[in-house]
Structure 1
Amino acid sequence: MTETAKKEPGRRERKKAATRKALADAALELFLERGFEKVTVAQIAERADTAVTTLFAHFPGGKEALILGDGSERAASLAAAVRERGEGESVLDALERFFAGRGIFSSDQDHAFRRQVEFVTNTPKLRAYARQLWVSCEESLTKVMAEETGRPEGDLSLRLLARYVLEIPDLTALDPDPRRALEAAFGHLRRGWPGV
């Protein structure tokens, strides 16, 4: 078997991915048309031509997860940003660079993505769910920061720093200039945690 053949997903994985995409696309279309609160999971399943049980099999988190996922990608991406930072780059610089390339902070957004980000930001339940997903990364971010800085894993200052970093997307979401707010937030953190 060739290396390329090993990496290509099988038929079953492709079918699952297509179903997930159809459900997520249907949810976004309906949410933008009618508003988040006015759309049911049954309507989403119907639009995607699947059963409600199929929707929950792919998105156990319900309607919010259809737009924002389950958070597993966030924790892995945060850890990678810290572990794979450049030579001489601080943990805080790496985390700021990570956030600057995502969601409301990214300057490289097409119209459809910008519309989705604005929808999430302006929908209280989705914004609260997004905050919950970020905050759920606290333990893993604290652990990787401890590994990378040589501090003990139970270091309270690292746990506090992790929580503050993970609150930035929510705290800056409604700022007229989120990118400027991101830079200001990390400026404050650098003064509070020099050398991290």
Structure 2
Amino acid sequence: MPETQPSAEAPPMGRRERKKAATRQAIADAALRLFLERGYDDVGIREIADAADVSTTTLFKHFPVKEALVFDEEADQEALLLAAVHDRPQGRSIPAALREHALRYRMAATGSDARFTAFFELIDATPALRDYVQAMWLRHTEALAHAIAEECGLPEDDPGCTALAHFALEAPRAARGHDDPRRAVERAFDLLEHGWQPDPPKRTRPGGR
């Protein structure tokens, strides 16, 4: 996927690790290019391997399923998600910090960078990718719940922290197919931060009520 945020600074890699990372990146780049050109369902694994000049065995060592080729930065995304909680400015609530993180990720699709627009259009047009990305985000629930609990001084298995983590990760789904995706995400996080408050009615009901 296109990089949405700078990755956290990491220690220098050795030669072997650099080679593996370069191979992984070449595979992911080839896959995304072919998917954007022809559509996800019309590109085969062997074609991707050939485009990246690797064997299919090597491809599957880096990406166990086809959907994972589109989301090659999952570990980095979890690190950024946890950093949104741990490194939030003083006085900012955890739901507010997670709202900002979600908007930064999702709103990349509505920015001026055509790569992000094409990337999110690919996901929205492909049921297998839509399901995978949602399952991918929810895999971070436990780690996010532990980070929230740590910040709040609560046991790591606190059910409230688990619920907040789960619903925060589900919230961006509200933007799918919505005319105003930013507003949809903001409304979802308003619910997490303030509880249920219906939007003011846009028009008067029949009878003036």
TM-score by length of 1: 0.86
Q: Between Structure 1 and Structure 2, how many residues are aligned?
A: 186
Report the equivalent of 2:183.
180
Report the equivalent of 1:29.
33
In structure 2, which of residues 63, 76, 79 is the aligned counterpart of residue 76 of structure 1? 79
Identity across matched positions, percent: 45
User: For residues 87-98 of structure 1, what are the structure 2 equivalents within 5 Å?
Assistant: 87-98=90-101
Quote the offset at 1:152 in angstroms.
3.0
Q: Deviations over 1:99-156 (max 9, x none)?
A: 1211x32354511222112211221111111001111111111111111112333322
AA of the residue aligned to 1:140: A
Distance 1:16 1:109 in 2: 32
Structure 2 portions without partners, runs of 5+ = 1-9, 197-209
Distance 1:144-1:181 versus aligned 2 partners, 3 A rule: same
In structure 2, which of residues 110, 115, 118 is the aligned counterpart of residue 115 of structure 1? 118
Given that 1:146 and 1:152 are in contact with CA atoms closer than 8 Å, whether structure 2 keeps it comes out as yes
Structure 1 portions without partners, runs of 5+ = 1-5
Given that 2:174 and 2:181 are in contact with CA atoms closer than 8 Å, whether structure 1 keeps it comes out as no
3-state secondary structure, aligned to 2:68? helix
User: For residues 125-140 of structure 1, what are the structure 2 equivalents within 5 Å?
Assistant: 125-140=128-143
Report the equivalent of 2:204.
none
AA of the residue aligned to 2:51: R
Q: Deviations over 1:2-52 (max 9, x none)?
A: xxxx95433333322222222112111221222211211111101111100
AA of the residue aligned to 1:73: D
Distance 1:12 1:172 in 2: 41
Q: Whose helix proportion is higher, 1 or 2? A: 1
Report the equivalent of 1:9.
13
Does residue 1:101 correspond to 2:104, yes or no?
A: yes
Given that 2:175 and 2:181 are in contact with CA atoms closer than 8 Å, whether structure 1 keeps it comes out as yes
What is the root-mean-square deviation in Å for CA atoms of aligned residues? 2.1
Distance 2:17 2:73 in 1: 18
User: For residues 47-62 of structure 1, what are the structure 2 equivalents within 5 Å?
Assistant: 47-60=51-64, 62=65
- Higher mean C-alpha displacement, 23-32 vs 65-74: 65-74
3-state secondary structure, aligned to 2:178? coil
Given that 1:146 and 1:153 are in contact with CA atoms closer than 8 Å, whether structure 2 keeps it comes out as yes
Distance 1:159 1:10 in 2: 37
Given that 1:74 and 1:134 are in contact with CA atoms closer than 8 Å, whether structure 2 keeps it comes out as no
TM-score by length of 2: 0.81
